[in-house]
Amino acid sequence: MPILKFTLANLSLTIIWMAMTGDFSPTNFLEGFVLAYIMVAVAERSDTAATYLRRGGKLLLLFLVFIRELIWASVRVVRSIFMPRAYLNPGVVAIPLDLKSDFEIMLLGHMITLTPGTLTLEVSPDKKFIYVHTMELGGSVEAFRQSIKDGFERRILEVTS
């Protein structure tokens, strides 16, 4: 991507960030600029605008999926606080990884840890499994595995590949 297009995309996303937050301070500008830079850098693997837009859309979708999971997990944690015996089913689950790069694995680990009720414990030395503690396994261990793989992991792969 030529420097001018890169810069214009970055500044446009920064202005959108500032408008959405309603804060036009220098600190918020800097935060928005850094976030926009990361978004443009992740999307900048190809020179075509279509690829940039697709990747940006998939990044937005990943963010929305994360926000949805954050809200639902918060509701489940609050529910377990008020009715602890009915909803607690904790466990540690090994989830096989399709992710390859350290960045992708780190992003998945952080998204899991930031979701209430779950915590990334460890990544196996061969980077083929991630170990997650959860307060609520739900239906089964396999269902929990699939929820991570079909949710966060699949979306991360869509953005980074």
Q: What is the mean pLDDT of each run of 10 residues along the chain (161 residues)?
A: 70 89 89 84 61 72 91 88 76 93 92 93 95 87 91 90 78
> Looking at residue 23, what is its pLDDT?
87
How far apart CA 114 and CA 147 sit, in angstroms, is 16
CA 70 to chain centre: 10
Q: Where are the CATH 3.30.70 domain residues in the chain?
A: 84-160
Q: What is the pLDDT of residue 107?
A: 93
How would DSSP label each residue in the chain?
Answer: --HHHHHHHHHHHHHHHHHHHT--SHHHHHHHHHHHHHHHHHHTTSS-HHHHHHHHHHHHHHHHHHHHHHHHHHHHHHHHHHSHHHH-B-EEEEEE----SHHHHHHHHHHHHHSTTEEEEEE-TTSSEEEEEESB-TT-HHHHHHHHIIIIIHHHHHHH-
**pLDDT for 3:** 58
Tokens of 20: 């959405």
Per-residue confidence (pLDDT) for residue 1, from 0 to 100: 47
Which pTM was predicted?
A: 0.69
CATH of domain 84-160: 3.30.70
